[in-house]
Amino acid sequence: MNLSPSEHSMHKPSDGCMEDSKAEHLLPCYRRSTYDGPLASYHSGSIISHLLRKTLHNKLTSLDNNLLYLPSANTSGLDPESSRTEDFAQDDHSCTSFKDEDLSVNEHLQAKRARVENIIRGMAASPNGRSHREAESECEAVRCRRDLLKENKRKQRLPQHQEPSHSSTKTSKDEECHKLKEQLQSMQRLLHQLQEKISHVHEQNYSENEEREDVRSEHDQVKVETGGFSSDRAVKNLQETLKCELTRTVSESVDMVFRKLSMTLLNQSPQPCHSPEYSETEKRIPDDSPSELSDSDESIKASSAEHFESNSLEHQTEALSLVVRKPSLSQAVKRPYPLHQTPFQFGYSAPLHDSQILEHLLKYGPHSAFSALPCLPAALERSSPDSMEHPWESVGMRSKVSSGHLGQHQTGLVSVDTLCLPRVKMECGDLQSLAERSSFMTLNISFERLTPNHLKKAKLMFFYTRYPSSNLLKNFFPDVKFNRCITSQLIKWFSNFREFYYIQMEKFARQAIIDGVNDVKDILVTRESELFRALNMHYNKANDFQVPDRFLEVAEITLQEFYSAISLSRDSDPSWKKAIYKVICKLDSDVPEDFKSPSYL
C-alpha cells in the first residue's frame, strides 16, 4: 500500500526542507559580509532620508493646508469629504499652476528654495547614488509646496505680519542648516555603528553555524530523527539577537533624528495657523463602518488623517495618549480615522515611540507613509494578490503607471516610493514578525490588511479547523481589523486550503484503488505517509510546527471516505463529494488558545 512510507520518503523527510529553511531564515542581508552591501546602503541613507523627507513634506503640507483652510475660504459650507478631496486636488494643482508663475517668485524665495533643496538633497543622497534624480524631482515638489505656502502667506498676512528681512534671518537659518547637517552626520555615525554591530553578530552567527554543521554531519542520523528542531531553535535564537540589536540601534537613530528635526522645523517654520473650523470639520467626519469602506475610501482617509494628525499639536498628544489608553476610551472619541491605524503619527512634544516608526514602516510599507499621493488612482493603492505575498512588489508597478499617466511633478513624488524599497524588502519578513511581536500588540494596534504571517497562521490553524466560522476567525486574528473584505479573504484562504486538501484526498484515494487496496481499514495516514508529506508541505512548509495527531486522524477518515465513495462508484454522481464534506466539517477541533495571541508566529 502506497500511502504509507515510500522508500524515498524516508530519505530525511524534513531534512531538505530544514536545510533550506535554515538558510532562508538567516536574514539575507546578513549573509553578505561586504560592508558596503545593501544593508549598508539602506541603513546609512535611504530609510532615514525617507523619514526625514516625509517629515519635511508633512510639515510643509500641514502648513499649506492650514492656510488653505483659513476661515476666509468658504470651507464651512463644504462637507468634509469634498473639502478634503478638493484639498488634494488644489494641492496638486497648485504645484503646476505655481510653476507657470515661477517668474513672479522673488530672490528671497529662490534663496530659501536653494537652502531647502540643499538640506533635502543632503538627506536624500544615498551611497549608491541611485536616488539623486528622484531626490531632485522630489525637491521640486517640496519647493512647490513651500513656495505656494509663502505665496499664500504673503497674500493673507501681509498687512499685519511682515516677513522677517532677508538678511536678519539668513544667519540663523544657516545655523540651523549646519545643525541639521551635524545631526545627520551623527545619524550616519550611529548607523555605521549599527552596521558594525550587525556584521559582528553575523560573524559570530556564521561561525556558530559552521560548528553546528560539523556536528550535524557527524550525527546526521540523530539529527534527522529529531527533524533538526534543536538546531532550528538555536538559529532562531540568533535571529532574535540580531533583530533586537538591529531594532534597538535603528530605533535609537531614527528617534533621535526625529526629535531633533522636529524641533528644528518647529523653530524654522512659521507657526501653523490653527483653524478651529477646520479641526471641527475634520472631527465630524463620520466614522464609516469599516465594512462599507472601499479601498479607495481607505486610502483617502489615510491621507487625510495623515495631514489631520500632523496638523494639530493638541490632537497629536491626544492621539498618542489615546493609543496607549484603553480601547474604550479611544472609541468614545469620534475620529476621522481610527487611531490605531493612523498612518503616521508624528508629535513634536512627545516623539513617537521608536518602535512605532518601525512598525509603521513594516505595517503599511514605506510608500504608504512616505508617498502621500492622494492624487494616485485608488486602484493602484489596492492590494493585489501579488502585493499580498510580496507587499513591496506593487510599488514598481505603481511607479511605472504613475509616471506614465501623471504629470512630471507627481513623478517626483512617486519616485519617493522607489528609493529604498529593494532594501526594505529584504528585511520585511523578519522585521515584520518582530514588529508584530513588539509594541504593535501592546499598543493594541491592528492590521488593516492580512500579512504573509497571517497566512502562515491560517495555514497552521487549518490543521485544527477546516471550516472555521467567521467568528472563530475574528477571535483568532485579534490583531486584524476586520471588515467585509478581510473576512472574505480569510474565508477564501480556508476555502483554498480545503480545495487543496480534498484534491489530495481524491488523488491518493484513487491511487490506493489503483494500487489494489481492498479494505478501507488498510487506508492509514501516518506522519510518514506521502499524503501527509504533501499536506504538510502545503500548510507547514517551514516544518516548524508540530502537526496535531488529530489532524492525521481526520486526514485518514477523509481519505477513507473518498476511498469508499470511489470504490462504490458514487463518484458518478456530480455532487458525490458533498456527503464527504458533510462528514469532514464535523471533525473540526478547537484551535489552541495559543493561536489567539497576535504574536503567535
Residues that bind DNA (CB under 7 A): 384-385, 388-389, 450, 455, 459, 467, 469-470, 484, 487-489, 491-499, 502, 538, 575, 577, 581
Q: Which is nearer to DNA, 121 or 538 (CB)?
A: 538
Q: Which three cell numbers stand for residue 136?
A: 531632485
CB of residue 538 to DNA, shortest distance in Å: 7
Q: Which is nearer to DNA, 186 or 487 (CB)?
A: 487
CB of residue 46 to DNA, shortest distance in Å: 29
Non-local (6+) Cβ contacts of 354 within 8 A are: 250, 251, 252, 254, 255
Non-local (6+) Cβ contacts of 531 within 8 A are: 3, 504, 505, 508, 525, 555, 559
CB of residue 581 to DNA, shortest distance in Å: 5
Q: Which is nearer to DNA, 440 or 501 (CB)?
A: 501
CB of residue 483 to DNA, shortest distance in Å: 10
CB of residue 515 to DNA, shortest distance in Å: 24
- 243, 430 contact by CB (below 8 A): yes
CB of residue 487 to DNA, shortest distance in Å: 6
CB of residue 585 to DNA, shortest distance in Å: 7
Q: Which is nearer to DNA, 53 or 449 (CB)?
A: 449
Distances (CA, A) of 141 to 56, 67, 295, 542: 11, 18, 26, 45
Number of alpha carbons in the 13 Å side-chain half-sphere of residue 271: 5
Q: Which is nearer to DNA, 244 or 579 (CB)?
A: 579
Phi, psi of 26 (to 5 degrees): -70, 130
Q: Which is nearer to DNA, 384 or 408 (CB)?
A: 384
CB of residue 586 to DNA, shortest distance in Å: 12
- 330, 322 contact by CB (below 8 A): yes
CB of residue 221 to DNA, shortest distance in Å: 33
For residues 293 and 295, what is the distance between their CA atoms, to the nearest angstrom? Answer: 6
- 215, 234 contact by CB (below 8 A): no
Q: Which is nearer to DNA, 204 or 384 (CB)?
A: 384
CB of residue 436 to DNA, shortest distance in Å: 18
* CB burial readout 211-250, b (16+ within 10 A) else e: ebeeebeeeeeebbeebbeebbeebeebbeebbeebbebb
CB of residue 502 to DNA, shortest distance in Å: 6
For residues 85 and 315, what is the distance between their CA atoms, to the nearest angstrom? Answer: 21
Q: Which is nearer to DNA, 368 or 489 (CB)?
A: 489
Measure the CA dihedral 342/345/349/355, to 10°: 110
CB of residue 125 to DNA, shortest distance in Å: 38
- 393, 424 contact by CB (below 8 A): no
For residues 497 and 482, what is the distance between their CA atoms, to the nearest angstrom? Answer: 20
Q: Which is nearer to DNA, 40 or 554 (CB)?
A: 554
CB of residue 383 to DNA, shortest distance in Å: 8
SS (H, E, C) 432-455: HHHHHHCHHHHCCCCECCCCHHHH
Q: Which is nearer to DNA, 208 or 386 (CB)?
A: 386
Distances (CA, A) of 239 to 26, 233, 247, 361, 562: 7, 10, 12, 20, 43
For residues 436 and 258, what is the distance between their CA atoms, to the nearest angstrom? Answer: 22
Q: Which is nearer to DNA, 278 or 497 (CB)?
A: 497
For residues 587 and 601, what is the distance between their CA atoms, to the nearest angstrom? Answer: 25
- 346, 309 contact by CB (below 8 A): yes
Measure the CA dihedral 35/41/42/47, to 10°: 140
Distances (CA, A) of 39 to 199, 393, 438: 10, 19, 22
Please state, as a whole number, how many other Cβ atoms lie within 10 Å of the Cβ of residue 308.
25
Q: Which is nearer to DNA, 24 or 389 (CB)?
A: 389
Q: Which is nearer to DNA, 168 or 569 (CB)?
A: 569
3-state class of 480 per DSSP? strand
